[in-house]
Amino acid sequence: MKKSRREIKYLLSYAEYLVIRSRISLLLDYDKHAGENGYFVSSIYFDDVRETAYREKVDGVFDRRKYRIRTYNKDLGFIRLECKEKYNRFISKQSARIDEDVCEALLNGEFSVLHDTDDEVLKQFYFTARESGLKSVICVDYHREAFVYPASNLRITFDINLQASFEDELSIPIYQNNNVIMEIKYDDFMSEIVRAVIPHETAKALSISKYRMCMSVAKAIRV
Helices then strands (H, E): number in the chain?
6, 10
What residues contact residue 147 under an 8 Å CB cut-off, 6+ apart? 24, 25, 28, 29, 30, 31, 155, 156, 157
Q: Could you read off the pLDDT of 28-77 as tens digits, one per residue? A: 999 987 877 899 999 999 999 999 998 888 887 878 899 999 999 999 99
Phi, psi for residue 96 in degrees, rounded to 5: -145, 140
**Contact 46/64 with Cβ under 8 angstroms?**
no
**Is the pLDDT confidence value at 202 over 60?**
no
The whole-angstrom separation of Cα 29 and Cα 164 is: 30
Range of the structural domain that residue 182 is part of = 5-222
**Contact 40/146 with Cβ under 8 angstroms?**
no
Between vectors from CA 197 to CA 37 and to CA 88, what angle results, nearest 5°?
A: 85
**Contact 155/186 with Cβ under 8 angstroms?**
yes
Question: For residue 35, what is the domain's CATH number?
Answer: 3.20.100.30
- Please give the tally of structural domains in the chain: 1
pLDDT category of residue 218 using cuts at 50, 70 and 90: confident
**Is the pLDDT confidence value at 1 over 50?**
no
> How high is the pLDDT of residue 223?
58
**Contact 139/72 with Cβ under 8 angstroms?**
no
